[in-house]
Structure 1
Amino acid sequence: MRYVRVVRGIMNSIDMGESIGSNIGRRIVLPTSFIGGPRDMRKRYMDAMALVQRFGKPDIFLTITCNPYWPEIQQELRFNDDAQNRHDLAARVFKSKLECLKNEIIKKQVFGPVAAYVYVVEFQKRGLPHAHFLIVLQPTTKLIEPATFDSFVCAELPDNSVHPLYTALL
């Protein structure tokens, strides 16, 4: 039975186009520098868990999503062109906006002094990037009371008299 499995494995390798016999059955271990590989993902996970162990649970979960209607993207598109078809343009503009957001959070301390943060950039199914941040604030500025949450979080429909454009988009 083992012989049949070995022969079947060799035949599958030949069918897949492998022409060098010494490469059949050779295991390839990707280094942690290979972004997105299992070892890289495990390293990132362990780094994030070390931050939680050292600084405590995150206080803020923040997401930024690339908007295909940002003026910086729209002015560079050609006639009949779409932002989802220009991944290079969307990624460059998004990276610029992401760096500005990091500057606001870390250097300008819009949420307060940051003890630690970690973020990951992903791509949506339509190809546009978005990023997720986990932010740990210094112990003196932790968000404990609901009033402090309300100073950062707002979820409401825009007022038609103040923002008619926003209400027209609804």
Structure 2
Amino acid sequence: MKRKRDVFAMIRQLGKPTMFLTLSANETRWPHLLKILYKLSSRYSGTDLHDVMQQLSALQRATLVNEDPVTCCIYFNKMVNVIMQLLSSSKYSPFGEYNVIDYFKRIEFQHRGSPHAHILLWLRNDPRESISEGMPLTIRLIDRLSSTSVEDLPDSYGNQVHKHTFTCFKRNEKQCRFNIPFWPMDQTRVLIPISSDDTRRDQLKRHCTKLREALETKVFDTFAEFLADNNCTYEYYLDVIRSSLNRPTVMLKRSMTQSWTNPFNSWIAKTLSSNMDIQFILEEFSCAAYVVEYVINRIEA
């Protein structure tokens, strides 16, 4: 209840958050953590650290992590705190002019015991534009701080590629509850839901289902090929997406090869060497309330 009051107080004081981050741990791929665990492990005492670290198998790495979950959690928490300190710097922030002015952090644990962090961020120079499909300053901020391109994360891009698991459908959903694959897009834009009295609504929703099936089951070399195969003009394609939305939504620029990629910030993803997700909050009430409701529900759970 205290944490619930904290986040409500921050929204009253600071207004809507700018973005919502999810940061995951990747303990078996963090060399510095593995060295710490190796030094602390009794089974490897007396063995030369430098010679063995390069030879540890995946099973040995996992064993080191499983034997000392407390150290792993402390390490993850300190790593997240250092990342937030750097992002909050007014001079050296990787976010540049959009440095963090405040944040709300919540660390949770997955069923396998690994921690992950959910963080609401309030950024300096958030343009707070009125909601419309023309928000140039907001689009500039989004393009500056997020990416789905392999060129921005050449060494660990695979961490960001989604693969369906049972959690995608655990509530008996017919499609992935994370709405993946994402819609390919020629440029970053904001789309607003189609009007409820639009007579094309049912037809557009049926076409939306077909387009999702095509993204799931077929491979297309280009965006134009995808539209042609599904008998879509570009404007009709945007209307199809609008029919599937419940609130104004950011659609990131994506090629056909990036439809399965979680959006990321390249600096955070490189520093963390693990999966992350970044979502931008547009509205003072509906989008912010959605994110806050999610955080509060997790706190109460």
TM-score over 0.5 (shorter chain): yes
Q: Distance in 2 between matches of 1:44 and 1:136?
A: 17
Match of 1:150 in 2: 143
- 1:128 deviates by 1.4
Q: Which amino acid aligns with 1:55?
A: L
Counterparts of 1:1-170 in structure 2 under 5 Å? Answer: 42-68=1-27, 69-75=29-35, 76-77=37-38, 80=60, 81-107=63-89, 108-111=92-95, 112-138=98-124, 140-142=125-127, 144-157=137-150, 163=154, 166=156
What does the per-residue CA deviation read over 1:27-82, in whole Å, with 9 as the maximum and x for residues that have no partner?
Answer: xxxxxxxxxxxxxxx22112101111121111011122111111122223457324
Runs of 4+ in 1 over 4 A off after TM superposition: 165-170
Q: Distance in 2 between matches of 1:100 and 1:89?
A: 16
Q: Distance in 1 between matches of 2:103 and 2:157?
A: 34
- 1:117 deviates by 1.4
- Contact (CA 8 Å) 2:127, 2:138: kept in 1 or not? no
What does the per-residue CA deviation read over 1:109-154, in whole Å, with 9 as the maximum and x for residues that have no partner?
Answer: 433243431111111111111111101123x344742122011111
TM-score w.r.t. length of structure 1? 0.61
- 1:167 deviates by 6.8
Q: Which amino acid aligns with 1:102?
A: M
TM-score w.r.t. length of structure 2? 0.36
- Contact (CA 8 Å) 2:107, 2:118: kept in 1 or not? yes
Secondary structure of the structure 1 residue equivalent to 2:13: helix
**CA separation of 1:167 and 1:124: change in aligned 2, threshold 3 A:** closer
Secondary structure of the structure 1 residue equivalent to 2:23: strand
Secondary structure of the structure 1 residue equivalent to 2:16: coil
- Contact (CA 8 Å) 2:88, 2:101: kept in 1 or not? no
Higher relative contact order (CA 8 A, sep 6+): 2
- 1:103 deviates by 0.9
The number of residues matched between the two structures is 125
Q: Which amino acid aligns with 1:154?
A: S
- Contact (CA 8 Å) 1:84, 1:126: kept in 2 or not? no
- Please tell me the root mean square deviation across aligned C-alpha atoms, in Å: 2.8
Q: Which runs of 5+ in 1 are unaligned?
A: 1-41
**CA separation of 1:168 and 1:114: change in aligned 2, threshold 3 A:** closer
